Amino acid sequence: MNPDISLSSEIPETEPQRQYYYIEKAKQYVTEKAREIARPLTFCVTTFGCQMNARDSEKLRGILERIGYEEAAEDEADFVIYNTCTVRENANTRVYGRLGQLKPRKSRNPHMMIGLCGCMMQEPEVVEKLKKSYRFVDLVFGTHNIYKFAELIVSRFESGGMVIDIWKDTDKIVEDLPNERKYSFKSGVNIMFGCNNFCSYCIVPYVRGRERSRAPEAIIREIEHLVEDGVTEVMLLGQNVNSYGKTLDTPVTFAALLKEIEKIEGLERIRFMTSHPKDLSDELIEVMGSSHKICRHLHLPVQSGSTDILKKMNRHYTKEQYLELVRKIREAVPGISLTTDIIVGFPGETEEDFQETLDVVRRVRYDSAFTFIYSKRTGTPAAVMEEQVPGEVVKDRFDRLLGEVQSIAREVCSVHEGSVQRALVESVSDHDSTLVTGRLGNNLLVHFPGSPDLIGTYADVELTECKGFYYIGKACR
């Protein structure tokens, strides 16, 4: 089955031209197949994990649409792609479970293809397992060569067998490939890839590779194009945005980049994540204090409140340094909303250590916090640490932490009740079609009466009632 590929030009050697060549080639295969089955081929990209993956999925979607696939629900799609996460073990378990469910569907539908990519694929044991027990998967690739998606699809069509392409690391950043945004009015923008921090529990540096920053000009150009295309809010993405630019030939600070982005006319809101406390500079705090566009929200993962545990986690700050940082930020940016990530049950965590975490939660009074049970990741230093904490102790701490975090978040959220705030309307409310849902600067949601034509616009909304983690409101006019 080899349709007449009549691309006259030679395969370009440089990117992204090479990928545009493969996009055209893949399109011919897809068109041919669609003709064979007398309907368009469909795809579904399912994303696991973080915003970084969500952004990568937009790139996958962009390429798939370019080559002629149409988007569909997962249970109908001819091409199902899982963009995986591996930060905690249960993320892997979920993917294996979902794959098991796809197998019978694939044996019924000869046109069906299954693709797996993302962080989990960077683990050699995973790929071994797929090769051995999941032979029905068609395409396996990792985090470093996602830009080659079209080329890999062509390899799959031409070879007819399982295609696996995993790179250990890369220093390459390929610009200007297609992508299909989920929202027309807001977008994630990668500013850097990888992570050099090696927090002792975390697998990300092993699966996302070494830190590399995009050139500031490329970032600015991308945002300018997004704004021309109707985007007013960007989320700058990186594992540790505070160390942005350090590895560039001409180093640039994250604060300096923000100042440049602030100048882009038509851009209304700037968000970023994730910040590492050890690299959050006074310069950045100052820029946040004086900016008119940077949202008053900072996600500042603390991970633990115990200085001993933080040391074992290789986080490079103490409890006191973290609290001092919070004080400085609050002084410079009054009313800023703070959110965090916390891990309970890190090896060697005692009840006293856990009490230190609760103490930080009570002192900082986070607007919300993502709480995680420590998950042992093979290959990380923490996996071989002694004194792994027994499951029932961890569960008990987790429940106590969650209770504390939620009751504080409710109180913090209710402070804004009665105020009028600007919201970017994102969608019709999931629960009530007479309401629309808007996002506030502090990242919380407000549901208020409105029609779908408000989507993508800003509204001043009175927050009439706090519901704990979101508000009910009414538009002011």
Positions in the binding site for ligand 5AD (CB under 6 A)? 87-88, 201-202, 301, 303, 341, 343, 372, 374-375, 377
Burial track 396-432 (b if 16+ CB lie within 10 A, e otherwise): ebbeebeebbeebbeebbeebeeeebebbbbebbeee
The listed partner (ligand 5AD, ligand SF4, none) that binds 239, CB under 5 to 8 Å by sort, is: ligand SF4
CB of 238 to ligand 5AD, least distance (A): 13
117 is in an annotated binding site: no
Residue 452 DSSP code: G
413 is in an annotated binding site: no
Q: For ligand 5AD, which residue has the nearest CB?
A: 341
Residue number with CB closer to ligand 5AD (315 or 439): 315
With CB under 6 A as the contact rule, the residue among 3, 16, 62, 205 that binds ligand SF4 is 205
Task: Assess 34 for contact with ligand SF4 (CB under 6 A).
Answer: no
DSSP sequence for 14-42: STTHHHHHHHHHHHHHHHHHHHHHTS--E
The listed partner (ligand SF4, ligand 5AD, none) that binds 374, CB under 5 to 8 Å by sort, is: ligand 5AD
**Interacting span for ligand SF4 (CB under 6 A) from 72-80, 124-132, 199-207, 327-335:** 199-207
CB of 374 to ligand SF4, least distance (A): 12
CB of 345 to ligand 5AD, least distance (A): 8
Task: Assess 230 for contact with ligand SF4 (CB under 6 A).
Answer: no
Task: Assess 44 for contact with ligand SF4 (CB under 6 A).
Answer: no
Task: Assess 197 for contact with ligand SF4 (CB under 6 A).
Answer: yes
With CB under 6 A as the contact rule, the residue among 88, 214, 269, 276 that binds ligand SF4 is 276
466 is in an annotated binding site: no
Closest CA to 170 of 208, 134, 218, 205: 208
Residue number with CB closer to ligand SF4 (120 or 454): 120
85 is in an annotated binding site: yes
Closest CA to 260 of 219, 320, 232, 230: 219
SS3 of 282-341: the string is HHHHHHHHHCCCECCEEECCCECCCHHHHHHCCCCCCHHHHHHHHHHHHHHCCCCEEEEE
Q: What is the dihedral of CA 416, 421, 427, 430, to 10 degrees?
A: 20
Exposed/middle/buried for residue 344 (C-beta within 10 Å: 0-12, 13-18, 19+): buried
**Interacting span for ligand SF4 (CB under 6 A) from 18-26, 103-111, 190-198, 468-476:** 190-198
Which two tokens mark 166?
A: 């995993």
The listed partner (ligand SF4, ligand 5AD, none) that binds 284, CB under 5 to 8 Å by sort, is: none
With CB under 6 A as the contact rule, the residue among 120, 199, 207, 405 that binds ligand SF4 is 199
CB 85 within 8 A of CB 208: no
199 is in an annotated binding site: yes
Helix and strand numbers (H, E) in the chain are 13, 19
CA dihedral for 450, 455, 460, 466, sign (positive or negative): positive
The listed partner (ligand SF4, ligand 5AD, none) that binds 205, CB under 5 to 8 Å by sort, is: ligand SF4
CB of 457 to ligand SF4, least distance (A): 35
Task: Assess 397 for contact with ligand SF4 (CB under 6 A).
Answer: no
Q: What is the dihedral of CA 23, 24, 26, 32, to 10 degrees?
A: 150
CA distances from 381 to 211, 254, 363, 408 (A): 19, 29, 30, 33
Residue ranges of the binding site: 50, 85, 119, 195, 199, 202
Question: Which residues of this protein are in contact with ligand SF4, per CB under 6 A?
Answer: 195, 197-199, 202, 204-205, 239-240, 276
Residues tagged in the binding site annotation for [4Fe-4S] cluster: 50, 85, 119, 195, 199, 202
